[in-house]
Amino acid sequence: MINRVYRLVDTKRIEPVMREIRDDEGDVLVRPEHMSICAADRRYYFGRRKQEILKKKLPMALIHEATGTVLHDRAGRYAPGAKVVLVPLVEKEKMPFVKGNYNPANPFLSSGHDGFMRDAVAAPHERLVPIGESASVAYVFTEIVSVALNAIGAFERARATEASVLGVWGDGGMGYVTALTLKCLYPEAKIFVFGKTARKLQKFSFADGTFFIDDIPRDTKIDHGFECAGGAGSEAAIAQIAERVAPQGLILLFGVSEDPVAIPTRTVLEKGLTLIGNSRSDADDFASAARLIRENAVCGKYLRMLISETIEVKTEDDIAYAFEQDALNDFKTVIKWAI
């Protein structure tokens, strides 16, 4: 089968290419339906990565957050029309004691390999998560919820102190989803969110408190902190968490920075803090995320509120429009893929 793949070939330049779908790519053929633009997609599209990285990664199709409709399953496990979440991690190799998302041998789609911006995706069954035929658009955020769950799993394995007050630094999409996931999993805990933009912080109505990062009350303390700021904000966020976190607390790092950031090592040492890096997720995290969205009404409700705009894409010009609009939106831009 010949497939159109919409590849980013240069800054703000996407071109369709024809590519044959091979039999060894998977038994299930899926048509992407809803996509969510991630900050990583945005950085690639607008050329906000270092040139040596762009030369290495491009050309490639963007998008790693997507749901789809099954067109055909050779094994018959999925009926045509079934709704699924697409898993972007390709687990080619397993390592003892290492999760698949941390194994450098496992490709991740839309990071040097074609993402889901194409007519159809061929995938094995283990890279699909069923969500039911009348699935809510909230499932397009399964990937970002799975990232939060991956980190929370690491958090639970490492923590040695109580988790009564949890702080999230960052008022963007990752901060929103992390804070919401924490609230759903730790309903008795206080969830505090720290950000810099009033209109964004207003969205965190499920949190127990929101604070501006330049006006945090002196007596504000947390048991553990989650850094979701990223970029230049990572350094200040890590410093603020270290200052306010309890002894032997954990600092979970999500934010990606192109440049190295300083760590307040004196505070880290004095308090016996642990910093844990978190990136991506595996198929088990996706299954857990889909289950959380399905079974927790609060989670599903507030995930839908994360959508800033839904844009139907019918032409290549619509793709460009979606990315331009996404740069203006506070939270998530969802694409209805109809090209």
DSSP E strands: which ranges in the chain? 2-10, 13-20, 28-36, 60-61, 65-73, 83-86, 121-123, 128-130, 165-169, 190-195, 209-212, 224-227, 250-253, 274-277, 307-313, 332-337
Q: What does the pLDDT read at residue 91?
A: 94
Task: Retrieve residue 153's tokens.
Answer: 């799993």
Average pLDDT, the chain: 96
Bridge partners, residue 335, by sequence: 35, 311
Q: What does the pLDDT read at residue 1?
A: 82
Can you give the three-state secondary structure of 197-258, one letter per residue?
Answer: CHHHHCCCCCCCEEEECCCCCCCCCECEEEECCCCCHHHHHHHHHHHHECCCCEEEECCCCC
Q: Residue 224: is it exposed, middle or buried by C-beta count within 10 angstroms (0-12/13-18/19+)?
A: buried
> What letter would DSSP give residue 122?
E
How many Å apart are CA 257 and CA 330, to the nearest integer? 19
* Mean pLDDT of the region 68-94: 96
pLDDT in tens, 160-209: 999 999 999 999 999 999 999 999 999 999 999 999 999 999 999 999 99
How many Å apart are CA 275 and CA 167, to the nearest integer? 14
- Report the chain's terminal Cα–Cα distance, integer Å: 17
- Are the CB atoms for 261 and 234 separated by under 8 Å? yes
Q: What does the pLDDT read at residue 268?
A: 98
Residue 132 has pLDDT above 90, yes or no: no
Walk me through the domains of the chain, giving residue ranges and CATH numbers.
2-135+307-337 (3.90.180.10), 146-277 (3.40.50.720)
How many Å apart are CA 334 and CA 311, to the nearest integer? 6
How many Å apart are CA 337 and CA 173, to the nearest integer? 21
Task: Report the share of the chain in percent with pLDDT over 70.
Answer: 100
Q: Which of the four pLDDT bands, split at 50, 70 and 90, describes residue 134?
A: low
Residue 135 has pLDDT above 80, yes or no: no
* Mean pLDDT of the region 222-242: 96
Q: What does the pLDDT read at residue 309?
A: 97
pLDDT in tens, 295-328: 999 999 999 999 999 999 999 999 999 999 999 9
Task: Retrieve residue 133's tokens.
Answer: 């035929």
How many Å apart are CA 13 and CA 313, to the nearest integer? 16
How many Å apart are CA 16 and CA 66, to the nearest integer? 19
Residue 259 has pLDDT above 90, yes or no: no
Residue 63 has pLDDT above 70, yes or no: yes
Q: What does the pLDDT read at residue 46?
A: 97
* Mean pLDDT of the region 85-106: 96
Q: What does the pLDDT read at residue 47?
A: 96
Task: Retrieve residue 265's tokens.
Answer: 């090592």
Predicted structure pTM score: 0.96
Residue 16 has pLDDT above 80, yes or no: yes
* Mean pLDDT of the region 224-232: 94
